Copies of this chain bind each other. A is one copy, B any other.
Amino acid sequence: MAKANMRYRFRNLENTGFPTSTGKAGTRMIDRTGAARIRKSGFAFWRKISIYHSLIQMPRWKFLFLVFAFYTLMNLAFALIYFALGTEHLAGAEAATSSWQQFVEAFFFSAQSLTTVGYGRVAPVGLITNTIASGEALVGILSFAVVTGIFYGRFSRPRAYLLFSKNMLVAPFRNGRALMFRLASYKNNFLTDVEASAMLVLHQPKGESRDSKYFTLKLDISRISALALNWTVVHVMDEHSPLFGMEAQSLIEQNAELIVSIKAFDDNFSNTVQQRSSYTHHDLVYGARFLPMFQHSDTKGLVIMALDKISDYEPAALPEFQHTPE
């Protein structure tokens, strides 16, 4: 049993969605924010872009700028039409005599139609201008449906708000060694049914280039019922682990990378949330243990979790690698 198990454990995963052969130097697969370091080619730019995904992911300032630009351009486009049709069809804009003044009136009439604010100081007269204005109100309603949908979608998007420790440690654990990192939710959200998974990538030199091998690491505990405090995710480096017997040097040489993924249920979103991160060998501390990050409050009997201590560790002597009996 133990043997079959080992064989399975050590089997290189052939199909992980990641490349199995990487250039001269093994490169990181996932960056710390969880994004894959892949570029797609061969398709036209617009075919490779999901507008929805782009708008949801982009930084806030960029999104707001785009909304502003879209709003201005739409107003401009309709303003040019009203201007071309003649401001004599805009009741209330008769006082505007210069072209510039007329354009300004057309522009703001357009803005008032698009947002459906419709003060009416300037109002459309005649068949064509009225038709355009009616169309603009419809366009405005539809456009703002998407703009506000995305705006609220960005605001309410289910996120895990997980804080990961800066380092992964190889620490003493049950008379042997274990690879560990820890995490905590740092906002006022409460996650339940929390599942962790970890994949190890080793880039082994093979002639000129390097072979990338992938291993799913078995976690000591891979699911907890609630994440009220911090969680130290532990992979025991026993004989069933691909890391059994590996010292720090060996991990560095193979450009070890740990891709971690946390999935949980958030009650307030009533939705599953997920967050990924990645540790490279630069983030590895071989021979250390995490320091506790909570203390007890006296006044209300609440437990206090110090989020700024999540990466705190102290050096620790490591015992020999330990065999785990089946």
By a beta-carbon cutoff of 8 Å, the part of chain A in contact with chain B is: 13-19, 22-23, 25, 27-30, 34-43, 47-54, 56-57, 67-68, 71, 75, 91-92, 104, 108, 111-113, 115-125, 127, 130-131, 133-134, 137-138, 140-142, 144-153, 155-159, 161, 186-190, 192-194, 197, 199, 216, 220-221, 224-232, 234, 259, 261, 263, 265, 267-274, 276, 294, 296-298, 301-309
Contacts and interface: CB of A to CB of B under 8 A. Distances in A.
Nearest to A36: B228
A192 B150 CA distance: 23
A286 to B, nearest CB: 22
B156 A52 contact: yes
A18 B51 CA distance: 36
B269 A42 contact: no
A25 to B, nearest CB: 7
23 contacts: A16-B225, A18-B226, A36-B190, A36-B228, A39-B297, A39-B302, A39-B305, A42-B307, A48-B307, A53-B188, A53-B189, A57-B268, A67-B138, A108-B131, A117-B118, A119-B124, A121-B124, A192-B276, A193-B263, A199-B225, A226-B261, A263-B265, A270-B274
